[in-house]
Structure 1
């Protein structure tokens, strides 16, 4: 849903992608073109939070399959682009980090409907373009951009108490990556290291809060969309030397 086109404009396309073949079909449009947004499924709707176009946006858009376009159902408490949204599998979406047009946003928001938001935590290291995923009782935020430079921080937020800490540091500063949880394992995929797109797959150890290298993507990629379907992760598009149109499947072997 949405994204940045090769010409540098925000897209309004809503695409359906067949995970077996990788084939994509344009099925609808966003009411407001957007890139650098976050998304999650809430109930029967697919919801897009904030993002950027010519300016930083605060709109929340929802799409119900079968409709011709999305509708604007609400607004974030503050304007926010470059954010990450993580789901917990039980109907709650967490809006993590981002950029308000002046500085990274430190607040972590929770919502079950895309219209009402609750601040549940404050990031010790405010970031935009961080990788985030929920696993068990914790929300993890890996890397990201502090506004002036990428960070190595691995941050953990308790979903029960809101306590947030830096548990460890990455081997190298990383931003524009994505995180997914496959069969109880969290992987951090791609991103930018030392100014260049990365092909590294990191695995998080939730006991120590550290990461280890777990594999390599078939190509370096930053800023892809990511989804998990039937025990496999899919990276959709993103950037490398150019804007990408690829679909990459990641399926753990053990």
Structure 2
């Protein structure tokens, strides 16, 4: 009789475990969370095996099947139990890994908000566009621990880029970056496509400006566009290879959007 109670407790424990996962871990309430299907599958298989264990306690169970069937039942029980446990553990691992990714996403989002709020506070005065760009660039380089960067304004009438702000560059390098022409180069490409551009090929920078960037290994170009108006571009230079990524772009995108709108408003009111 005590053994019967023990086997009767198995399905009850599985149900309790399932309720714990559903209500305490809130797996049923988490949308698009990975591993949930595996967790449910593992619990169902384990519950099914526990029911078989309970049925086996029936006094006449040994007479229900041919003698050769019982070893097969034992093997199937073991296989189902092992599969259920593996699915359950794998599901939990994926589920908590997914939560780790969500925490990272939340951290990135919070960093975006903090950085944007800081820049908005520092630049709330009606600064001229060059000074605005210089302030934003300085804050971004400091907070993102970047070494060098530049900002260009696009002169649509003359089809040229004017160097409006620069940081972390030597005087001779700054001279090489001035008077940049619109045309077949990476800045023009990024602006025309309205898409951030990451490259390590500074020859694609074109003109004598590429000579100023010989000591860097990574370049990120962030187009400054408001609506259909091409305003310019913000650039980051790094000595590290493969320094920039989609995650980095995602972090600075809200600032770029805000800055583009601010530049357009300032130019209209000028």
Normalised-by-shorter TM-score class? under 0.3
Give the structure with the larger strand fraction. 1
Give the structure with the larger helix fraction. 2
Structure exhibiting the larger radius of gyration computed from Cα positions: 2
Higher relative CO (Cα under 8 Å, sequence separation at least 6) belongs to 2
